[in-house]
Amino acid sequence: MLKEQRLDVILKEVNSKGAASLKELAKLTQASISSIREDVAELDKQKLLKRVHGGAYSLNNNSSANDVEYESRSNIELDAKIKLATKANEFVQDNLLIFIDSGTTTHQLAKLINNKNVTIVTNSINVATELKSHSNVTTILIGGLLKSNTFNVVGSLALDNLKNFNFDIGFIGANGYSNNLGFTTPEINESLFKKEAILKCKKSYILLDKTKINSEFKYTFATNNKNITLITNYKKKDLNLENIIEV
């Protein structure tokens, strides 16, 4: 495949799925990882997509492109996600009732929780599946409308389920944060669910890697709040938030 053809295929794939890893793009174009890395860098320079460690994100701020397939997101910025999850895990203590939101970073947190006597409520199929191997953890899976591309549950039934709990702490995912709009997501049902989850938590931690800072989407679910702490690898001096943990 010629380079011009590769660039076109890469851009279409990233815009179609919302994100893609270098591995996925290499397989799709039958090119080497190094060639794909150069192609992605070129498209990033042209401001046609956003290059991140391990892959690329679409710059199309619409619901279909940014409600990104789980597999495409899972390996992007993986090292950063593990660092954020490791810091978040420090706040998991015995005998707590904890909410864990859907997302690739919160999934990494679920992998780290072991030997803790806690009850965890989640709307994520992936998080619940991960937790089943931890014998000390009691896992409750929220019921509702299943989103097949992200393996999480939302909708009115999920909201009704959520209202039954009063959480000690919660760990929340987000698609983006900006000083202008706060924490945002491209899908209304996601926004409503996250907003309710935060209301039901005494303390919430939002896990967000630096690639999502200064990204804005249609629906805000949280702004600056004394009960919310952002855990990020972005420089906290540039963010208008009261509580930030920089890792």
| 112 Cβ contact list (under 8 Å, min separation 6) | 85, 86, 89
- Residue 64 is predicted with a pLDDT of 45
Helices 22-29/33-45 angle, 10° precision: 110
Domains and CATH numbers, the chain: 3-74 (1.10.10.10), 78-246 (3.40.50.1360)
Torsion of CA 236, 238, 240, 244, to 10 degrees: 0
Average pLDDT across the chain, whole number: 91
168 pLDDT higher than 70: yes
Q: How far is CA 128 from the centre of its chain?
A: 16
153 pLDDT higher than 60: yes
- The whole-number average pLDDT for the span 33-39 is 94
116 pLDDT higher than 80: yes
- Residue 189 is predicted with a pLDDT of 94
- Residue 69 is predicted with a pLDDT of 56
- Residue 63 is predicted with a pLDDT of 41
- The whole-number average pLDDT for the span 177-198 is 95
**Nearest C-alpha neighbor of 126 from the set 103, 157, 98, 93:** 103
- Residue 149 is predicted with a pLDDT of 75
- pLDDT tens digits for range 215-245: 889 999 999 999 999 999 999 989 999 999 9
